[in-house]
Amino acid sequence: QSCHRPAGERASQEPGSGGLPEGVEYIPRRKKAKNPMKPVGVAWYSLYARTRLGYLFYQRQVKKARERYPHGHSVPQPYCFPGVKILPIPVLSNNYSYLVIDTGSGQAAVIDPSDPLAVQAAIEEEGVVLEAIFCTHKHWDHSGGNEALCQKHSSCRVYGSALDAIPRLTNPLADREKVSVGCLTFEALATPGHTVGHMVYVLDGAPFGSPPCLFSGDLLFLAGCGRPFEGSPETMLASLDIAMGLGEDTLLWPGHEYALECLSFASLLELDNSALEQKLQWAVQQRQEKRSTCPSTLGEEQTYNPFLRTHRPELQEALGLWQGAGEDPDAFRARVLKEVRRRKDLYQAT
């Protein structure tokens, strides 16, 4: 497979570079891919996340997705830097797993192996040795492949937070702990909110002359963020701030292909945001061609992702929110985040 060049060298991936094809009209209201968390009542979430019924539901998801998307829901494009290759693997109806390869040694790690057959196929095609699984959190659509892959690769280690019930966890990680796989160095960052033990993983790009790479799981999507199932708006805001502290050039590799839905929602909040309009047009063309929309960069995300713009007066005004006299700025931002989340949930439900 050929590789995309790094961000900054890839004109075709810049926001707004595609635009709408002639004669094509963008219609925000669209049929969305099924989301296992859509029936989002507390009882449903408890069943999905904490019982065998959730695992059986996940298995049904995998079976149906394999039938509907025999080659994956999107056309992914590998990214290569000197010494490292990142291969997105489209799984289920909208998830991404990622195979990250030290091309010098042939050692590899996978992030969130949803479908073990799809991940194993990528491992065999690339001819690499799976050394590590990094799980962002316990939900089956991110951890369901752990068991089968560990049986296939007996020396593979499974990393994640001990606070989440991650299947086959062998190496619990603490916040800011680093793990090496060949010449690859990953740093785990505790980012609770979506689950109590949610972690993201940052690949150090410096040895390869690349930007850092953030594998964000369900913390952060292109133009969106995950629901705080096991945390408060304040908890989620603090976790988003941790991610944003990584730097604007950081490449964002999210856990789901939610770009169109998230950008469409964001466009309802900020009608005069030119960066948002351009990115939406670009994403429409990408998805019409069934192409992946990842990665973006954290610098881009700050221009159109409403969950990262809680400090922006234009978004606050669009929501009809104003900071109270003596109100702590972060408390106000958490209130803004809560309102954005509420509106997003209503948008998804319609």
Distance between CA atoms of residues 217 and 200, nearest Å: 6
Distance between CA atoms of residues 337 and 174, nearest Å: 27
DSSP state letters, 266-306: HHHH-TT-HHHHHHHHHHHHHHHTTB----EEHHHHHHH-G
Write down the number of H helices and E strands in the chain. Answer: 11, 15
Told to judge if 153 belongs to the known catalytic residues of this protein, a careful annotator would answer: no
Instruction: Please check whether residue 74 is in contact with residue 80, taking contact to mean a CB–CB distance below 8 angstroms.
Output: no
Q: Could you list the pLDDT tens digit for every one of the 350 residues in the chain?
A: 557 544 443 333 333 333 333 333 333 434 444 444 444 566 788 888 878 889 999 999 999 999 999 999 999 889 999 999 999 999 999 999 999 999 999 999 999 999 999 999 999 999 999 999 999 999 999 999 999 999 999 999 999 999 999 999 999 999 999 999 999 999 999 999 999 999 999 999 999 999 999 999 999 999 999 999 999 999 999 999 999 999 999 999 999 999 999 999 999 999 999 999 999 999 999 999 999 999 999 999 999 999 999 999 999 999 999 999 999 999 999 999 999 999 999 998 76
Of 112, 139, 164, 198, the catalytic one is 139
Told to judge if 218 belongs to the known catalytic residues of this protein, a careful annotator would answer: yes
Reading the block at residue 5, the tokens are 């060049």
Told to judge if 198 belongs to the known catalytic residues of this protein, a careful annotator would answer: no
Of 73, 137, 164, 198, the catalytic one is 137
Please give the pLDDT value at position 39: 44
Please give the pLDDT value at position 12: 34
Give the pTM: 0.90
Distance between CA atoms of residues 273 and 249, nearest Å: 21
Please give the pLDDT value at position 49: 85
Please give the pLDDT value at position 40: 54
Of 102, 112, 164, 218, the catalytic one is 218
Told to judge if 345 belongs to the known catalytic residues of this protein, a careful annotator would answer: no
Of 142, 198, 272, 328, the catalytic one is 142
Of 102, 112, 115, 141, the catalytic one is 141
Please give the pLDDT value at position 97: 98
Told to judge if 142 belongs to the known catalytic residues of this protein, a careful annotator would answer: yes
pLDDT digits (tens, 9 = 90+) for 83-102: 999 999 999 999 999 999 99
- DSSP letter, residue 82: T
Of 256, 272, 330, 345, the catalytic one is 256
**CATH code, 68-346:** 3.60.15.10
Of 102, 164, 194, 198, the catalytic one is 194
Distance between CA atoms of residues 330 and 240, nearest Å: 12
